[in-house]
Amino acid sequence: MISGASFFLSTFAGFLTCCLIQRFKLINPYILMVIMYVGINIILTASLNLINGYMGEFSVGHAGFMAVGAYVSSILTVRVFPVQHAQWFFPLALIAGGMGAGLVGMIVAIPSFKTRGDYLAIVTLAFNMIVKSAIENIDAVGGPRGFLGMSKLTTLPWIFVWTVLTLWIIRNFIYSNYGRGVLSIREDEVASELMGVHTRRVKVLTFVISSFFAGVAGGLFAHLLQFINPNSFNILKSTDILIMVYLGGIGSIVGSIIGATIFTVLLEILRPLEVWRMVIMPLVLVFLMLFRPKGIMGFRELRLFVPEQYRKAVARWRLKRKEYDAVS
């Protein structure tokens, strides 16, 4: 994103716009709902992209982490936090949901990254099923009937803030030392380890960050729908997130935005086709894989999403050299 002041100003302007829209109901409620779904899906897509796109591993159970975040934050807002101040405790509930998901992510990641290769796909698939059946069998949270009683705390400004925050943090992470470690694992894990990258630690760290944001997205989702049940977080939901990642482009933040937007909006536009939309979406995916397997923006990034310090490192160094040469 843009540097310092202008980034801050444009974010603030966007936030104000969101507040105005929410306050004065400037947009028809249905479209508002779709926009909020797009935001949640952007968070989910960008966070999964961290593992599947940037790190080159294959995780297929992202909805499981979403479920953890959704249930943790919902239980907190309904049963723990005082109801009359619910909106003030909402961000706390979301962060707690994210941390719950992150903790579970760590428990999944530590054993599964002890081995190399494709085991992660199997482990995450199993994890997704375990979470779903576990929730179905806990009567205290409604079991298969689901959990309700949340007030509609997710509003457009909140969606905006969390989406921007997620993208900003993921961008910063990718363009840091640890992010370079993540990329080098994708490129060549053995060489990466031999260059001194503590690959296992980097993998677990990446997995935790990714599941944290899946948990936050789950919390936002729960307080938008005001009802969650285990079936909202089954393998199909995980597949949807995978589709958004590979549609928009692996290893790209702008790709995550594009993928989540196209997928969500297209599903809504195709709603009149009823069952047929479930035929059209997979077909889109098949053609995409045939003609552009990296996705629309695969491995490409808008300048906007590359930190200035990173982008101009070489130019700055050349300038410094020139000045140095001129003096001596």
Partner 1 sequence: MPCLEVKNLTHYFGGLCAVSDFNLALETGELVGIIGPNGAGKTTVFNLITGIYRPTKGLIRFNGKNLTGLRPAAITARGIARTFQNIRLFNNLSVLDNVRIAHYAGMKYTPLEGIFQIGRFSDEEERISERSLELLERFNISELAETEARNLPYGMQRRLEIVRALATKPRLLLLDEPAAGMNPSEILKLIDFVRIIRKEFSLTIILIEHQMRLVMGVCERITVLDFGATIAEGTPEEIQNNPKVLEAYLGEEAAV
If binding is defined by CB under 8 A, does position 116 make contact with partner 1? no
Give the DSSP H/E element, type plus range, for residue 34: helix 29-49
Q: Among 65, 113, 173, 263, indicate the residue that binds partner 1 (CB under 8 A).
A: 173
As measured in angstroms, the least distance from the Cβ of 217 to partner 1 is: 18
In angstroms, the CA 63 to CA 69 distance is: 10
Q: Which is nearer to partner 1, 79 or 198 (CB)?
A: 198
- Quick one: tokens of 296? 């629309």
Segment interacting with partner 1, rule: CB under 8 A, options 86-94, 134-142, 229-237, 313-321 = 313-321
Q: Calculate the alpha carbon distances from 10 to 7, 13, 36, 165 in Å.
A: 5, 5, 19, 13
- Tell me whether residue 130 or residue 191 sits nearer to partner 1 (CB atom): 191
Report the alpha-carbon distance of residue 94 to residue 163 in Å, rounded: 13
Looking at beta carbons only, is 39 or 181 nearer to partner 1?
181
Q: How far is the CB of 14 from partner 1 (least distance, A)?
A: 20
Contact with partner 1 (CB under 8 A) among 172, 279, 289, 293: 172
For position 176 contacting partner 1 by CB under 8 A, the verdict is yes
Amino acid identity of residue 298, one-letter, is G
The span from the CA of 28 to the CA of 282, in Å, is 29
User: Mask: binding to partner 1, 269-308, rule CB under 8 A, as x and -?
Assistant: ------------------------------x-------x-
Residue 310 touches partner 1, criterion: CB under 8 A: yes
Closest to 50 measured CA to CA, from 252, 305, 292: 252
Q: By CB under 8 A, which span of 16-24, 89-97, 171-179, 240-248 interacts with partner 1? A: 171-179
Chain positions 222 to 261 lying near partner 1, rule: CB under 8 A, are: none
* Residue 2 and residue 164 in contact, taking contact as beta carbons nearer than 8 Å: no
Q: How many residues does the chain have?
A: 328
Give me the 184-223 binding string for partner 1, x by CB under 8 A, dash otherwise: x--xx-xxxxxxxxxx-----x---x--------------
Number of residues counted as binding partner 1 (CB under 8 A):
33
Shortest spacing between CB 98 and partner 1, in angstroms? 13
Residue identified by tokens 């285990």 is 230
Q: How far is the CB of 54 from partner 1 (least distance, A)?
A: 11
What is the widest separation between alpha-carbon atoms in the chain?
Answer: 77
Distance CA(71)–CA(228), nearest Å, equals 8
CB nearer partner 1, residue 1 or residue 76 = 1
Compute CA 267 distance to the chain's CA centroid, rounded to the nearest angstrom: 19
Residue 175 tokens, joined = 């363009």
Burial of 42 (0-12, 13-18, 19+ CB in 10 A): buried
What is the number of other CB atoms lying within 10 angstroms of the CB of residue 174? 25
Among 16, 130, 313, 319, binds partner 1 (CB under 8 A): 313
Nearer Cβ to partner 1 (143/298): 298
Q: Which of 275, 283, 290, 314 binds partner 1 (CB under 8 A)?
A: 314
User: Considering beta carbons, is residue 290 or 314 the nearer one to partner 1?
Assistant: 314
120 and 200 Cβ atoms separated by less than 8 Å: no
Q: Which is nearer to partner 1, 136 or 193 (CB)?
A: 193
Give the amino acid at 282: P
Q: Which residue ranges make up the site for partner 1 (CB under 8 A)?
A: 169, 172-173, 176-181, 183-184, 187-188, 190-199, 205, 209, 299, 307, 309-310, 313-314, 317, 320
